[in-house]
Amino acid sequence: MKIIPEPYKIKAVEPIRLLSRREREKKIRQAKFNLFKLRSEDVYIDLLTDSGTSALSDNQWAGLLQGDEAYAGSRNYYHFVDTIKEITGFEHIIPVHQGRAAENLLFTTLLKKGDIVPSNTHFDTTRANIERQGATALDLLIEEGKSFDSDYPFKGNMDLEELRRLVKKYGKKRIPAGTMTVTNNSGGGQPASMENIKSASRILHRHGIKLLFDACRYAENAHFIKKREPGYARRSVKSIAREMFSYADGCTMSAKKDGLSNIGGFIALNDGKLATDVSNLLILLEGFPTYGGLAGRDLEAIARGLREGLEEDYLDFRVNQVAYLGRLLEEVGLSPMNPTGGHAVYVEAGGYLPHIPRKQFPAQALTVALYREGGIRSCEFGGATFTQTDKKSGRIRSVPMDLVRFAIPRRVYTHSHLDYVAEVFTEVGKKKDEVRGLRIVYEPTRLRLFTVEFEEI
């Protein structure tokens, strides 16, 4: 069969409404051209993020009703822990309210000023949490991963030569851990291969350095290994995931992605001493260790969601749906990142809007144009998000590409919603010379994308 239909049927629906062109114009101006500032009800198709936006299954909704809201020792906590142990094989499981809380707790405990944490690519909250400790977050992505067009199957791989050089130079004293983001969100949702994970693990372990995963999208990564890496085609995704985790010493995870949940996350570790230290900080910042800032019902939804996120018919449909949007956008004249990632399609805006210079944020301008034309919300992953001016030194940290990410929420949209996105692109394409560049009128000191404000030039 060529068609892979949704492996579920729809039991509850949430109406969506397209505002009039005049209303959309008013809303985008009120939002200061930053789509994070729009109200969700003013958005028609919301591809801002795949994080926390999943549709729950009837099984998860049933689990929510079985929340045991005891302060300590909730039944759902034990289900949560058993599920994560079964999937990851790690010994100590610590619940948190979302991924960045896990990063804060772990890096506050693990790092000291002057440390270095290498990764394939750090996600921006991870980077910010490492830098907050006075440490350096270093990206060691392979060259293919930096190329928009390369069809290399594992563009999320770590550059092992660079890693070897780094650990030889600085050793365990300066590098307490290396991380791998699977899949690599900031690099296009691209997977890392088992071979690469295994080698990175060996290099780090030889120097007594821990390997930790940023495991938000580990199931999508395992799916790609099954489809693309020799020797894995007949293995279950679950056993591939377990093998991936076997090379690491722990992970942080936002369950808002492959945990198919609306909130939550965890830290998983083998090191008992580190886990105890993290747990003690958890009590201070998040809550008692058997709930970690979550309700019992949330823990239950995550336990059930994690299992559903490993189901193979779901993953086949999921990754195929993302690729479907990639093909549609190609048909209407764009060149999305090749190959498409696990959770999103990434489009390079500079080439599409060549009349807008980089300093006028072409990718952000494209997100504005798509909202104006069809009520679509997408996310800038380029100059507007990542470029940061250091107020003291005046130094500008920029990014190689001006991307727009179209992240697909899990189990939420059908193919006809995506057909509509392609049609909106066709309309924008007809008058793209009219799309205007942007100028920043307010920027925060960290994590610029969420609160930056613009005016049109």
* Whole-number Å distance between alpha carbons of 191 and 244: 12
Crossing angle, helix 415-430 and helix 362-374, to 10 degrees?
110
Count of other CB atoms within 10 angstroms of residue 14:
6
Binding pattern for the stretch 93-132 against ligand F0G, x by CB under 6 A and - elsewhere: -----xxx----------------------x-xx------
Dihedral (C-alpha) 120, 81, 109, 107: value to the nearest 10 degrees?
Answer: 20
Q: Does 370 bind ligand F0G (CB under 6 A)?
A: no
Report in angstroms how near the CB of residue 181 gets to ligand F0G at its nearest.
5
Least Cβ distance, residue 124 to ligand F0G (angstroms):
8
At closest approach, how far in Å is the CB of 449 from ligand F0G? 9
Q: Are 205 and 196 in contact (CB under 8 A)?
A: no
Which one, 342 or 437, has the nearer CB to ligand F0G? 342
**Does residue 54 belong to the site contacting ligand F0G (CB under 6 A)?**
no
Does 63 bind ligand F0G (CB under 6 A)? Our answer is no
According to DSSP, residue 407 is labeled: E
Pick the closer one to ligand F0G by CB: 216 or 319: 216
CA dist., res. 398 & res. 389, Å (int): 9
Residue nearer to ligand F0G on the CB measure, 43 or 356: 43
Cα–Cα distance measured from residue 159 to residue 360, given in angstroms and rounded to the nearest whole number: 32
The nearest distance, CB 9 to ligand F0G, in angstroms, is 28
- Choose the binding region for ligand F0G from 92-100, 169-177, 390-398, 409-417 (rule: CB under 6 A): 92-100
- What distance lies between CA 193 and its chain's CA centroid? 18
Instruction: Spell out a b/e string for 394-406, using b for 16 or more CB atoms within 10 Å of the CB, else e.
Output: eeeeebebbbbbb
C-alpha 160/C-alpha 177 separation (Å) is 15
Candidate residues 92, 127, 256, 432; the one interacting with ligand F0G per rule CB under 6 A: 256
Please give the structure tokens belonging to residue 352: 């599409």
Residue 220 contacts ligand F0G per CB under 6 A: no
In sequence order, which residues have a C-beta less than 8 Å from that of residue 212 and are 6 or more positions away?
106, 177, 178, 179, 180, 248, 249, 250, 251, 252
Instruction: Decide if residue 179 touches ligand F0G (CB under 6 A).
Output: no
CB of 71 to ligand F0G, least distance (A): 24
Residue with smaller CB distance to ligand F0G, 304 or 405: 405
Extract the runs of DSSP E, i.e. beta strands, from 122-209. Answer: 136-139, 177-181
Is 214 an interacting residue with respect to ligand F0G (CB under 6 A)? yes
Size of the site for ligand F0G (CB under 6 A): 15
Q: Residue 182 or 356: which CB sits closer to ligand F0G?
A: 182
Query: In terms of CB distance, is 376 or 435 closer to ligand F0G?
Result: 376
Residue nearest to ligand F0G as judged by C-beta position: 99
| Binding positions for ligand F0G, rule: CB under 6 A | 49, 51, 98-100, 123, 125-126, 181, 185, 214, 216, 254, 256, 265
